[in-house]
Every structure is written in C-alpha cells, then in structure tokens.
Structure 1
C-alpha cells in the first residue's frame, strides 16, 4: 500500500526499485544487495514480469500525482520521467521488440559478455565472483534461447541478417584461433582457482558456440522478415529511443539538409588545409601524414588517455564543475571486438571510474588522429563521461533517476552536441581536428537518412548530390556511409547491420543534439546579454536524465532549473 501525502510519488518509485531488484541485477546493485548475480534472468517469464511491474508502476505514479494535493517539483519531474520511460519499455515489449532483439552490440547476450569487462580481478574473492558469473553464462544463454523460441511461436518477426550477424559475433568471442575472450580472461589468474576458472570458461565458451549454432541452423532458416521494420514498428521504437514523438518526415528532410550543408563546409575546409581541390586527394593527404598518426594498441590507449586528461583539465572549473568523486575516467581497449567505441559509466558504488572502451577495425596498424578526436569528446568529455559524472553527483535525484534512467536520445544527443560545442570551448588543436568534427556530424546526419530510408522504404531524393540510386538497400547504405561520411568499410557494414536491428536508435544522436541546440538558442534569445553558457549547461544537466520530450518542456520553460511545474 503506497502512503498518501506529499511523498506518494517517491514512495511509488522506492517500491518499484525494491520489486525490480528481484528481477534485475543492476537494480539490486543500486540498492546494495549483496550477492546478486550480475547476469539477469533472460527467460520469457522474467521479461513478462518486468513488463508487468512497469505497467503497475506507471498506473501507480499517475494515481499518486492525481490524488496528491501538492507534489513537490522534484517529485513531479520524477513521476513524469518514470511514466515516460517505463511506458516506453512496455510499448517495446508489447511490440515484440524486447524479446526478439538480435542487433549487433545491443542484445542481452552482449550485455552478458560485457559484464566481465568491469569485474575486478584484484583478489581471490574477485576471481571467485568471476567464476560464479562464468557459471551463469550457459543458463543465461539457454534462457534467452527459450525467450526467442516463445517469440517465434507467437509469430514475432525475425530478420535473418540479425540472427546470422549475432552468431558471427558470438563465434568471434570464443574462437580459439582469435580472441578466445573467456579463455584469455581466466588465463590472467594462476592461483588456487585456476582449475575452476578454466572449467567455467570452457563451459561459457561452449554455450556461446552452441547459441551461435542455434541462431545459424535453427532460427535463421525460419527468419523471413524483411530488414526494414515498417512505419508502425518504427514509430514505437523511435519514440522509445528518443523519449519523444517527432515528425518523422520533417526529421528525414532535416537529415538531407544537414548532409548538404556539412558536405559543402567539409570540402571547403579540406581544400584550405591541403590545397587539394579534389576531396578524396585531400583526405588521402591528411590520412597519410605520419605526424598525425598513432599506432593501434598501447600507443593508441596512451594517446587517448592523454587527450582525455588534457580535455578534463581544460574544462573543469572553467566551463563545467565536475564532482571530484565522479571525475576520473580511463581509456581501455576492447578485448572482444564490439565493432564500435563505447562508454561504460562508473559502477553504482564508485569503486571503478568511467571508462572509454575503444576498438579498431581488424588489421589496422595506425590511425589518423584527426578522425578520432571527435569520438574522444563524444565518449569522454564533454560528452558521455561528463554527463554521467554530473548525474552521479546529484544527490537530490532519486536513485532510479541517478543510476537507472537510460534514454538514448538524451545521452547520445548530449554527446553529439558536446562534439560540436567543443569548437567554441577551445578543445580542437588545429583545422584538421575541426574537419574531423564535421565528418562526425556527417556520419550522424547520414544515420538519419539511412536508418529512415531503410526502415520506412523512403525513396532517395533525386538530385541529392551524393548518389544517383533511387532505392535504399543495405549495400547502398554501406557505400553511402563510406563515401559520404568517411566511415571505413568494415565499420560501415557494422553500422548498417546495427541500424537494421535497432530501428530508430540512429536518430538519437542528431535529433538529440538538435534539441540541445534549439533549447540553448531559445535561452540565448530570451536572456540576451545575461546568457551564460556554463550556467545553461549546469541547469540542463542537473535536471537529470529523461526523455527528450519532457526535457524539452523543462529546458524551454521560464527559469529553467527552478520551475517545477513545467509538466502540469
């Protein structure tokens, strides 16, 4: 029974965490529950239980707001944020998206593998926990297989591209001739637990290989859905990823407009840097300059860490106030190739720092740094790490907001906005790095037109300036990303496979950044000479993570940061 009164909303949120902890190890960790297995239950029963809890909580929150005479401003924001997020999760479950997820990088199988990246290894107790976690991998994969089988029995859609792509990734993790992730992990321990760890690693690897076989020989042959999901599903998924309902056709047109603008600016800048009128020749000159390259491997990690540290020193106290206890961030190399770079925030107890995980295409000997700087800003500071560092330092937020509210549009939108704001904050060393920033924007604009074109079967506009083809195909999308946005072919292939398995997520970057830009422009116009960029960033981030719809309302409200009634 939820008590009535001004604390009703917070009481509902507290009850939600307690109930969710029994179904989700991340929530259990937030509450400090000891001994919780880090691998979640991936059975169809567990997915249904989580969706049912979300439904009940949405209803309880709405009832608490409706029947409470005076809801504190912070609790009203909490209720609005939770209703939008949990409601979106329910919509994804009802659409069959949650229980059919096979997209590169994004499945529960990936989350299970990535658990091991952040488990400590400093003591025998730590290694015993790793052994316990390894023991849970076969059961976790078996449970997810049951979930996929139930979804198939219900007639849910599966595309063969996604099933086969995930199978290839799983095999790459356990290939004894290649990564052998689990074997390499336990080989770092030579103590008394070596035997148990070795057996557990072999069992985890065997289960992973068996799951790959299931995807290839059982699921994929019966997966007949087209790559594109269509407008009905896309409206659900894009709304969930963004946390907002947007005009898809207007956004699609905006993507093409941005491509044309950025292409013209990039060509002009490349010509001014190199003197080469031909863009391909200009880029070849920049990529071939030995002074602008860094070797893959440990030299790259050192370069990344140095760049992150320099940016942090430049920003902290001047442009942002980063809480000291959440400020540290580390650069790491991905040991089991994920295909992209990603950020992992600090754990809930702050026993390890935030980490920027980096991977490079197979066979890469060196990278031109001008292409990489914008990604450093996106994943580190002032992007993902800064946003998490601020969020985790906000003690007035409810624990669900601080640790468990994940919105792609909010987080990726901020990180992409951060790439662009890096120019005015003085974070780019020379014009080559500015060109890299423009190409990062090109990539995100290309994501909009590619993702929407593939999933919604939109025609390629005539006279677009980039391709004479009229119909999107995965092959055209890969070529488009490579030629237009400068993405290397291997990454471009991975990107397209990811878009097709994660419909609408690609919008989060450019559409999210657009929101931040629009909200800032509105504040600048309203405040005039009184506008202070540091204050705007602080007020916006201190609202905490939420869907872009609620965030836009708050950012555009009078006296942002103090007006708690923006959602009434």
Structure 2
C-alpha cells in the first residue's frame, strides 16, 4: 500500500490541545475497533475485529467519557477548535446517552448492525497479493469470536427487555443462513479467490478455506441463536415509540427537531413534489399522468440498461463526467480526489452506498450497488440523480474533502465524525444543486430526481408516522399509521423495484430515525444556505468550500459554525 500522504501543500495550522484530545480519542477508537482501521486503510489491524460483547461496548463508552473529561477546561485556540469542541461534546454525549439506554447491546436490523458489519468489512479489504489474502484468511478465522461477542450482547439486552422487532430478527436469520450456506458469500469468496496475478499459493488458499468454513459455522450459530432464543421473545410491534425515536432522531441529525412539525412539513413537502412531477409529466407527453410519463420513460430503449455490467459502466461514465465538469468551476476538487470507482456489490440484499477513500487515497472512494437477485434491467432516467448523490457533488466530494484536509482538520474531524443528517442532507442538497446547475434539463432525468426527492419526503412521513403511530394524512388513508398501511403508502411513493421496496420497508422499521435524516438534513442545509445568501457578498462556490472544509458534524454544530 502507498502510505504517502496525498499531495496537499496548504500550510498546516498549529496542532492544539483540543486537536491532541481528538487525535488520542481516534487512536483509541482504532485500537478498540480494528475494522475502523480497515475502513481508513491503515495497516496493522487487518485480521482483527472489535469486541461486540457487553464488555467491548463498555470500552467504547469509557473511551467517550475519557475524551470528554480530557476536554474539560480546554479553551479553543481558533474557530477550528471551537467546532471540534462543539462537535465532540454533541457526538460523544449522545453516544453515552445511547449506551445508557441499553439499546446499543440490542442493535439488530436488516442493514446496519453487527450482523451485517462483520461480513461487510471484507468488501474493503484489498485482494491484490497473497499477503492480502493471508489477512483476509486471518480475519475470517476471527468471525466466530465477533459473532460470539455479538450473541452475548443480544442475550444481555434480551434479559433487560430490549429486543428488536420480530420482523428484523427473521430477516437477519435469513441473511445469516445465506452467509452460512454452501453456496453463500463465504463459500463463494474462498472459491473465487485470486491475486492480481493468478491463483493463491496453496497454503494461503488452505488457510482461507479453513477461515471461511469457520465463518460459515459462526453465521449458522448466529442464525440458530436468533431462531431459538431471540425470536420467541421478540415483540411483534415494529413501532419504537417516542422516547427511543427522539433519541435516534437527535443522533442521526445532530439537531433537535419538533417531530410533529417535521411530520407535518414532510406531508406538505410530499404534496409539493408530486405537483412538480405532474408538471414534468406534461412535458414528457401533454396530458400524461405521473405514472404514464414514467412508463413512457421506462419503455424508451435509449434509457434502458441490460445487466449489471452495463449498469456499472454507465455509473462510471456518468460519475467521471460529473467530476471532470464540476472540478474547478463549481467546486474545488484536487486531483487525488478525482478518482471514484463505481462497483456492483458482492451481495444481493439491495441498497446503494458509498465508502470513502483510505487516508492516503491509495484506495479510492467507491460507489456500491447491491442488486437484488433476479433484477437485470435498469433505467438511466431513474438513477442519474443517484450517481450525483453517491458521487460528485454528493458523498464522495463531501467525505473525500474531509479526508484530504489533513492540514486543517484533526484525525477525529477527518475520519471519525459522521452525522447522517449532515452527510445525507448534503447528498440530497447536491441532487437539487445539479438541477440548479443545469444537469437535469432532460425531463426524464428531472423526473428521476423528483422521484428520489419524493421517496425521501415519503420516508419522513412514514418513519415518524409509523414509529410514533400518528394520524394518517387524509390523502393517504385514515386512522393511525401501521406498518401495513405504511407499506401501501410506500408502494405509491417509492418508484423502485419490489425487491428494493421490501428491503427499504424493513430498513425504515428497523433503523428508526435514519431515513428521515436525508430530507430533514437537506431542509436544514437549505435553511443555512438561504440565511447566508441573504447576507452581502454571498458566493455559492465559496459557501460550498467553507462548508465542506468543516467536515461532517451535527447540523446544529454546522449552523453555529457557518452562521456565527
């Protein structure tokens, strides 16, 4: 691996006492969570996992308390320090609240819990050399210990009455069973193993076969535990209630919002987007409904892709074009940040996501698309805005900028601090910005962007409505929200495949507060920009540069930093 720093010749600001606390805390996190080191591309922890047991979770809480104690009495040396202090108090304080709630030990859902994290880390491990595969084999041997620690935490949480809904438990049983299968992820991973020059040396292949076999047994053990011990005790009710939801909302936004007001705004925003879609539908064919216009787009051969290879090539081409045209004109994009890889994910569970570059940019930022089994046809009009969301000017520009600004930001600000409402809100802001910059003039691409915005507005309504069991808006039904009513509502508002819809439905139910953070985050980003735009001398490119150089912090912290 190239371990040289990216070419960044800007003069470094002095390293302060607050920076020292933040950096020390980051080093502690890397020690406690070796998978995080892999995410950052840092050597030395390639075969290890974090401790997912209650003792391991307590270690993370102790680290947060220690960092907060170390910050006591420190005064900011400059504006960068002031943001660090604000952000660390907010992020670490919420982490301790979550740990005190007991739900940290109970985390289980279909997308973002240890059940998925233990497997997903392999996606970020390099595979070019025999040494890389030795690391993979070593980590595979440690899957069992990670799974056992996770089971211990789930068992402890169960005894405390904290268990995810039965729907989530059943889904993870299915996922774990697939990973354990003779034709599942780990078996295929070992069977398909190659270096950049060919087959693995026999001893390495043997170690990999043994490690992945152990991993399959471990996932089978997890499925058995979930089936026999957790599922019988799991609640049928999906709604998590106001107290747990309010904490989750704060964690994902880094801001406190009025949930009822936000719900009402989501209803209004959904109506507004639908009205705009109706206007665009008339451009596609006069008199067409939104559904008819989308069917016209779906049947247009020029807007169709057949197969995942075509999807990957199209994603890459559109991403490269956006980077080339935006760099230096609307955004500062250093050369080292211009590489963004678009990949088809090795799983078929659904979802699209971004993973950031390594600290030295030897592993570039990557856009991943997990295609549900059986899906083989894709439409470009529906997905153009997704490429902008995940790539440039969305997540890649945001995450890679923070990683690059090592002369300005400490390690915690560059690599650790991530707030969904900030990050996902920026990505939705980026979608709308591309329309503002003239990249969505084609009515089909415009309709696709509106479909994505409509989905995010519908998620605000669904997520808050179902988890707080609020009243259904008259346009969409009657009575209070239930998951079944919510599924029908999503069918009407999410223009995605049935496989993706089922995945998203389960995701919202099992990961409360996360889905609304996209649209609510966008709302808060746009409010900040509007307030700054009303001041003399506002310049859009300068606003973007200043905002991105802060890194991903809570949205209340961002507001204080930008508005003063």
Do they fold alike, i.e. is TM over 0.5?
Answer: yes
Task: From the superposition, tell whether residues 339 and 523 of structure 1 become closer, same or farther in structure 2 (CA, over 3 Å).
Answer: same
3-state SS, counterpart of residue 310 of structure 2? helix
Task: From the superposition, tell whether residues 41 and 245 of structure 1 become closer, same or farther in structure 2 (CA, over 3 Å).
Answer: same
- On the 8 A contact 2:41/2:358 being kept in 1, the answer is no
User: 1:392-445 deviations in whole A, cap 9, x for unaligned?
Assistant: 111210001101111111111101111111112232261100010011100000
**1:170 offset after TM fit, Å?**
2.1
Match of 1:536 in 2: 543
User: Is 1:485 the counterpart of 2:494 in the alignment?
Assistant: yes
Match of 1:45 in 2: 55
Figure out how many residues of one structure are paired with residues of the other and give that number. 542
Among residues 170, 190, 213, which one is paired with 1:186 in the alignment? 190
Match of 1:55 in 2: 65
Match of 1:390 in 2: 401
Matched ranges for 1:240-389 at <5 A: 240-389=251-400
**1:74 offset after TM fit, Å?**
1.6
User: Is 1:554 the counterpart of 2:558 in the alignment?
Assistant: no
**1:91 offset after TM fit, Å?**
1.4
3-state SS, counterpart of residue 542 of structure 1? helix
**1:222 offset after TM fit, Å?**
0.9
Match of 1:475 in 2: 484
- On the 8 A contact 2:242/2:467 being kept in 1, the answer is yes
Match of 2:513 in 1: 504
**1:199 offset after TM fit, Å?**
1.7
Q: In structure 1, how many angstroms separate the alpha carbons of the residues matched to 2:158 and 2:43?
A: 35
- On the 8 A contact 1:443/1:487 being kept in 2, the answer is no
Q: Normalising by structure 1, what TM-score?
A: 0.92
3-state SS, counterpart of residue 126 of structure 2? coil
Range moving further from structure 2, 355-364 or 256-265: 355-364
User: Is 1:73 the counterpart of 2:79 in the alignment?
Assistant: yes
- On the 8 A contact 2:35/2:121 being kept in 1, the answer is no
**1:340 offset after TM fit, Å?**
0.5
Task: From the superposition, tell whether residues 298 and 546 of structure 1 become closer, same or farther in structure 2 (CA, over 3 Å).
Answer: same
User: Is 1:153 the counterpart of 2:159 in the alignment?
Assistant: yes
3-state SS, counterpart of residue 505 of structure 1? coil
Match of 1:404 in 2: 416
**1:475 offset after TM fit, Å?**
2.2
Q: In structure 2, how many angstroms separate the alpha carbons of the residues matched to 1:488 and 1:313?
A: 31
User: 1:296-315 deviations in whole A, cap 9, x for unaligned?
Assistant: 21111001100100111111
Q: In structure 2, how many angstroms separate the alpha carbons of the residues matched to 1:25 and 1:279?
A: 48
User: 1:341-376 deviations in whole A, cap 9, x for unaligned?
Assistant: 010111233221111001233322211111011111
Match of 2:444 in 1: 432
Match of 2:552 in 1: 545
Q: In structure 1, how many angstroms separate the alpha carbons of the residues matched to 2:96 and 2:530?
A: 34
User: Is 1:413 the counterpart of 2:425 in the alignment?
Assistant: yes
- On the 8 A contact 2:25/2:412 being kept in 1, the answer is no
User: 1:271-309 deviations in whole A, cap 9, x for unaligned?
Assistant: 220235333222212111111101121111001100100
Q: In structure 2, how many angstroms separate the alpha carbons of the residues matched to 1:184 and 1:31?
A: 24
- On the 8 A contact 2:141/2:211 being kept in 1, the answer is yes
Q: In structure 1, how many angstroms separate the alpha carbons of the residues matched to 2:244 and 2:140?
A: 35
Match of 2:6 in 1: none
Match of 2:125 in 1: 119
- On the 8 A contact 1:9/1:64 being kept in 2, the answer is no
Range moving further from structure 2, 305-314 or 150-159: 150-159
Q: In structure 2, how many angstroms separate the alpha carbons of the residues matched to 1:43 and 1:186?
A: 28
Q: In structure 1, how many angstroms separate the alpha carbons of the residues matched to 2:138 and 2:15?
A: 43
Match of 2:114 in 1: 108
User: 1:173-218 deviations in whole A, cap 9, x for unaligned?
Assistant: 34445xx211222222332222221121122112112212221222
**1:28 offset after TM fit, Å?**
5.0
